[in-house]
Amino acid sequence: MFPLVLAILITMAVVAMPHPVLSHPLDPLSPLELTAATSAVLASPLLHGHGRPVSFHYVGLDEPDKPDVVSRRHRAAAHALLLPRRAFVIARAGGASHELRVDVTDTAAPSVVSHGVHRGPGFPMFTTEEQVAASAVAGRYPPLAESVRRRGLAMGDVGCGVFSMGWFGDSGDGDGEAATRLAKMQCFVTGGGATANFYARPLEGVTMVVDLERMAIVGFRDRAVYAVPKADGTDYRAGKAGPPFNGAVPAAGVVVQPEGKGFHIDGHVVRWANWEFHVGFDMRAGTVISAASVRDADAGAWRRVLSRGFVSEVFVPYMDPEEEWYFHTFMDAGEYGLGVSAVPLQPGADCPPSGAGYMDAYYASADGSPVRSGNAICVFERYAGDVAWRHTEVAGPDAPVTEVRPDVTLVVRMVATVGNYDYTFDWEFKTSGSIKTVVSLSGILEMKATNYTHVSQIRSADDAHGTLVAENTVGVYHDHFVTYHLDLDIDGTNNSFVKNTIVPRRNSGVPATGGAPTPRRSYWTVLREVAETEAQGQVDVVNGAPAELLFVNPSKKTKIGNEVGYRLDPGGATAASLLADDDYPQRRAGYTKKQVWVTPYNKSEKWASGLYADRSTGDDNLAAWSKRNRRIKDEDIVVWYTVGLHHIPYQEDFPVMPTLSAAFELRPANFFERNPLIRAAPPRSSPNCSCSPGS
Amino acid sequence: MFPLVLAILITMAVVAMPHPVLSHPLDPLSPLELTAATSAVLASPLLHGHGRPVSFHYVGLDEPDKPDVVSRRHRAAAHALLLPRRAFVIARAGGASHELRVDVTDTAAPSVVSHGVHRGPGFPMFTTEEQVAASAVAGRYPPLAESVRRRGLAMGDVGCGVFSMGWFGDSGDGDGEAATRLAKMQCFVTGGGATANFYARPLEGVTMVVDLERMAIVGFRDRAVYAVPKADGTDYRAGKAGPPFNGAVPAAGVVVQPEGKGFHIDGHVVRWANWEFHVGFDMRAGTVISAASVRDADAGAWRRVLSRGFVSEVFVPYMDPEEEWYFHTFMDAGEYGLGVSAVPLQPGADCPPSGAGYMDAYYASADGSPVRSGNAICVFERYAGDVAWRHTEVAGPDAPVTEVRPDVTLVVRMVATVGNYDYTFDWEFKTSGSIKTVVSLSGILEMKATNYTHVSQIRSADDAHGTLVAENTVGVYHDHFVTYHLDLDIDGTNNSFVKNTIVPRRNSGVPATGGAPTPRRSYWTVLREVAETEAQGQVDVVNGAPAELLFVNPSKKTKIGNEVGYRLDPGGATAASLLADDDYPQRRAGYTKKQVWVTPYNKSEKWASGLYADRSTGDDNLAAWSKRNRRIKDEDIVVWYTVGLHHIPYQEDFPVMPTLSAAFELRPANFFERNPLIRAAPPRSSPNCSCSPGS
């Protein structure tokens, strides 16, 4: 939820800069390109007069125009090199957010090609460096030292982190029109070596406000003193929980691939089975999947499916309106950065012990130097014991027939640890043509210190705003809304959104009135509705008639005449926001009341919470853009799908949470002429796969 | 959906009868016990005068009273042997359904201890033998031969199967009060060696009625002639689809367990990691999980979770009201038997190539002899590449800390192929204390022959009642409702159902009225409602406020005072029936409009569709029992949870369907004092598991 940066957050390895081989126009910026971009900005006269120092809050690939990328597949490799490489930079200087585009095609001579200053509300992501600096400033702030002393603690045992403060109108925060880049700070008992789990030991009651530009504490309140929960039982490190261990240990197991991996990574392009796609990286989004095409074996052709997919925002509002908690309404991507929060994946733990491939990622630090995030992404084949399809036939002249195909899938994984929470983001590709996304939540709850040590002390009139998960410790109610940006290009650029509503019908029993002359009284059928405009593209998948969400290419049909398409199959995590429409956090994340939004492709509309999410006011987010109610029928459309979870904590979530996963799946729906797995040979690893003679 | 039995359905291996070692009172009946039970019935004077022959439709364990089983865990093994072994038998004789209980404790001297004749509506499951016989009778039926001839086909190339006909009131079926055991029969083009997939080639338009007692065709209608879809492209056998194969082949992979399996099977008792449970088998339900207890490492105790869990019914209504389709409203468990439909699991395909354990199952044939169902159930550890929990800590004096625990789970799997459909039923046990059930659908669609060869031919006024999935072939709309019987005994026998409703709240901002003095305007909290009676135990999890479904033991609390419990986390498959309440199929399966029902434990209430599902009228099903509105608070309660799917077919479902999975999970919710995984050592297979020093 929030990164509490107390010490050195990451190793700022300024990497060596090998001469790059430019292989794909969607490749993330290389260290050389990052340096070229930030150097050009620092050297530019455009920022002169805006004050120094310049700090870099975002540096990412300014993607080529979509038609250029799409057509590239059909051009010679030499031509591809002609596509310009550009960086998009957001830098703070002189109290303003500067937007710059820098041409880094020639990294030896980068040039700033555009410059603008952001005038509206909202700020870019925090930098790691300013969070470290703020933490140091708090540690020297006398009123905090006094509060710590009053609680019988030593200042050296307390650490504070930067919490985004959201936006709550012109009043209430003492911040006028949010022109100043402020954040709140809260503290924890970190020291004494008692536990690594300082989230379980909040210094409840104390809130500070930090001015991140002046790097000074500008607000302080010590509202009330609460017991600091004890450290005992909070540590999750194996070295502290054991040995001896008395819990269950499953058998050791490892997947062996006798013929090696089935996938190939060529730069950032991954090829596996019937899939080809590009894996990019962005310091805000983390993993970016692009240009995913599936091989149609019957047609002998590659066909486009997903032009670009990434996590656009993770909105996490807490449900406690009190002083220290009301502003806990985090936008993990827009405020802290999922890519920046990527952790090095551990072979054998985060990814299988063998057979996985790893990718490093790079982003820019506040001073513009490149940061290497090692093993940020892994790719592996998943052997989960599932079955891709099967049938046993006991009838007919050829009986018995048993045909079973074990399922193997390909997973692209990244883990972002945003403070207490660990999000594992998976993109899973299936030979059936499906793309499944999974987000798995683990890590540590945000906990509130309380004087309660037993549930019986909580009067029924009180609302603890959470569950007592340990003595003096409430796990606070909250939501997770993970919004995916899915630029579908189903077999081509222009697509339509079809809502297939399942509606009950009455059988009159009388053929003259369209009925069937049988005693059956009811059935259901499917009403096909093509969304014309954005307003029709918004769907609440829970409330309302059951429906299938279909995305079709209206100009491509199967041989028997069905429009080729994919459908989005929501998993179980379909919670929508329950906040009031007029509440500030809801205005900032207004899109969280519908799971589905469909918009026409617009290069600038990448971030559901707006380009400037920190302290945003909701004037530049998905819900705001969509008010224009643009046409989405037979257009290049983008689907925004939000995975939602209401999280009521339980004691099992303490001191660290067992994984809770949420998924959705894009499944081919009349995309292929028939099940594409039919023409696939059974895996060679399954000599007993029960294939009929001839296989 | 329906078993089309054309030839020899199963190998009637009359097994050798070893002297059994009675190990657990819930063990399914052994071959010796099955023979003893049916022999006793055949020899009993009770059935004399009722006519011969006797046919056995159900023979299963008559479970000991629950208190006897529960207390057994604490008694000496010798005492356990004293529990009587009894069989419950449903046999048809003289046109009546006889219910008998037979004591088979001494298999050399079995004795019928009770006998009754069923008087109400409904019939027991079909036997395999009568389906084979009916198929043969149809093959000799002159009017059918004439219809086949009229279509230019040879009778030898056509096969017919038995379709349950449901119940549609006193009129409309010519069957008066459903006193006669009738079924419908429909046919397919099976011959010519053209394809194993005869489901794709229905002899549309022809429907017969068979009297299963007299074994005679008593009704016949050839309503209309439709094109028989071509065989080309319908075969799914590897030998017919290739070689050469041009589809994608993932890399071969196999899980290796260097230290062997982690689970132990002792008779029917499975022990693995922190779990112990009993795996039984029933010819109607298939797998039965009983007496599942989890080890609480912190408490050093085994604690009860699930007394009994099994699939009680699979209701599959089709959405075409026409003559040949309106009665397709199958109850796969109650009419055909999931256990009877279990197929031999293929090592390396249905279950992993190594490391799986297999169990055989036995049931009674129509003549009473035991049938062996080899490899009916497999048990294996699942290494899916998931993470049980993780956290990376970049802050605090001990940073960086990275702790990751890969997840390994235990799966108990059975596959039931009921005619065209293949259901894979998994029970997955997790070290976190969770039990996840997964039902995976594959196999072949029920298809309707049509004269349409292209979508453009379907007039918009027409309702094809399905999707044109191939030329002349409509995949008909339908639902799947898989109802689980879950006798939860959370840490003891008496439990309560708590509906934790998530409700929005307004923050007044004024402390005097209970508000918080902050600009936050809204939040949500949890309203805890304990269900007093069955009416309050019914939940529509889709329509209505979001809620968590919690099952607690009101007399057991954690140290800090939370009631110990488990919560049922629905997966995405929460479709409810859309049939009209007054429609006959809906009356028979009235429970399918709510996903959750809670009833007090009653030994006789095992089958959601009633003991006699074939041609049932809804007078003896879950919805009917629950009308009594019995108390369920602090009682021994049973949860009935229905996984529901609306199935709109797509071309990818042809000629065989890629697997579609649906799941729900029982997760501990304040059951443990804290995450039970904390005290578990990291798997030895993960030398790089990122455990902190000391592990």
- Integer angstrom CA distances of residue B174 from A139, B179, B205: 87, 11, 19
- Chain A residues closer than 8 Å to B462 by CB: none
Question: If you average pLDDT over every residue of chain A, what do you get?
Answer: 91
A-B contacts (CB, under 8 Å): 689
Which residues in chain B show pLDDT less than 50? 1-3, 6-17, 19-20, 74-79, 171-177, 685-695
Closest partner residue to B658 (CB to CB) among A523, A675, A687 is A675
Touching A: B residues 8-67, CB under 8 Å: 9-10
The predicted complex's ipTM stands at: 0.95
Residue B391 is predicted with a pLDDT of: 96
Closest partner residue to B403 (CB to CB) among A173, A238, A648 is A238
Closest partner residue to B656 (CB to CB) among A383, A651, A678 is A678
Touching B: A residues 152-181, CB under 8 Å: 159, 161, 168-169, 171-173
Band of pLDDT at residue A177, cut at 50, 70 and 90:
very low
Band of pLDDT at residue A254, cut at 50, 70 and 90:
confident
Q: Which of A135, A358, A393, A414 to mutate to test the interface with B (most CBs of B within 10 A)?
A: A393
- Chain B residues closer than 8 Å to A470 by CB: 560, 674
Give residue for tokens 């869990």: B309
Q: Which of A188, A319, A390 to mutate to test the interface with B (most CBs of B within 10 A)?
A: A390
- Residues A173, A418 contacting (CB under 8 angstroms): no
Instruction: Output the six-digit token pair for A687.
Output: 């000599």
- Chain B residues closer than 8 Å to A2 by CB: none
Band of pLDDT at residue A520, cut at 50, 70 and 90:
very high
Touching A: B residues 432-471, CB under 8 Å: 432-434, 440, 442-444, 453-456, 463, 465, 467-471
Shortest Cα distance, chain A CAs vs residue B664, angstroms: 9
Q: For residues A479 and A313, what is the distance between their CA atoms, to the nearest angstrom?
A: 13
Touching A: B residues 119-148, CB under 8 Å: none
Residue A215 is predicted with a pLDDT of: 97
The contacts of residue A188 (CB under 8 Å, 6+ apart) are A4, A158, A159, A160, A161, A198, A199, A201, A202, A203
Q: Do B321 and A515 make contact, defined as CB atoms within 8 angstroms?
A: yes
Closest partner residue to B679 (CB to CB) among A242, A668, A674 is A242
Question: Which of A171, A325, A355, A194 minimizes the C-alpha distance to A260?
Answer: A355
Nearest CA in chain A to B511: A322
Band of pLDDT at residue A73, cut at 50, 70 and 90:
low
Domains and CATH numbers, chain B: 31-117 (3.10.450.40), 128-240 (3.10.450.40), 263-381+410-491+574-627+635-668 (2.70.98.20)
Residue B254 is predicted with a pLDDT of: 87
The contacts of residue B85 (CB under 8 Å, 6+ apart) are B22, B25, B29, B33, B61, B103, B104, B105
What radius of gyration do chain A's Cα atoms show? 27
Nearest CA in chain B to A233: B674
Instruction: Output the six-digit token pair for A584.
Output: 């500030």
Among B58, B421, B452, B484, the active-site one is B421
Nearest CA in chain B to A466: B525
Cα B563 to chain centroid distance, Å, stands at: 31
B421 has catalytic annotation: yes
Least confident stretch, A140-144, A263-267, A613-617, B394-398: B394-398
- Check pLDDT > 70 for residue A77: no
Residue B241 is predicted with a pLDDT of: 84
**Is the sign of the CA dihedral B528, B531, B536, B538 positive or negative?**
positive
Touching B: A residues 355-384, CB under 8 Å: 355, 380-384
- Residues B448, B32 contacting (CB under 8 angstroms): no
Least confident stretch, A414-428, A558-572, B73-87: B73-87
- Chain A residues closer than 8 Å to B661 by CB: 386
Residue B194 is predicted with a pLDDT of: 85
Question: Which of A175, A228, A184, A231 minimizes the C-alpha distance to A2?
Answer: A184
A332 has catalytic annotation: yes
Residue A223 is predicted with a pLDDT of: 96
Touching A: B residues 464-523, CB under 8 Å: 465, 467-471, 477, 500, 502-507, 515-523
Residue A359 is predicted with a pLDDT of: 98
Q: Do B249 and A571 make contact, defined as CB atoms within 8 angstroms?
A: no
Band of pLDDT at residue A543, cut at 50, 70 and 90:
confident
Nearest CA in chain B to A430: B250
Closest partner residue to B246 (CB to CB) among A297, A347, A391 is A297
- Chain B residues closer than 8 Å to A679 by CB: 241-242, 245-247
Closest partner residue to B349 (CB to CB) among A159, A274, A686 is A686
Touching B: A residues 218-237, CB under 8 Å: 233, 236-237
- Chain A residues closer than 8 Å to B346 by CB: 402, 404, 688-690
Closest partner residue to B350 (CB to CB) among A233, A404, A573 is A404
Closest partner residue to B465 (CB to CB) among A406, A444, A525 is A525
Question: Which of B660, B421, B578, B575 minimizes the C-alpha distance to A525?
Answer: B578
The contacts of residue B244 (CB under 8 Å, 6+ apart) are none
B487 strand-pairing partners: B308
- Check pLDDT > 70 for residue A21: no
Q: Do A255 and B574 make contact, defined as CB atoms within 8 angstroms?
A: no
Nearest CA in chain B to A464: B525
Q: Do A507 and B321 make contact, defined as CB atoms within 8 angstroms?
A: yes
Q: Do B674 and A694 make contact, defined as CB atoms within 8 angstroms?
A: no
Instruction: Output the six-digit token pair for A120.
Output: 């509206």
Instruction: Output the six-digit token pair for B637.
Output: 């309660």
Among A199, A326, A336, A421, the active-site one is A421
- Check pLDDT > 60 for residue A80: no
A675 touching chain B per CB within 8 A: yes
Q: Do B385 and A238 make contact, defined as CB atoms within 8 angstroms?
A: no
Nearest CA in chain A to B464: A525
Task: Name the residue with higher pLDDT: A692 or A678.
Answer: A678
Three-state SS string over B227-261 comes to CCCCCCCCCCCHHHHCCCCCCCCCCCCEEECCCCC
Q: Do B236 and A693 make contact, defined as CB atoms within 8 angstroms?
A: no
Q: Do B274 and A248 make contact, defined as CB atoms within 8 angstroms?
A: yes
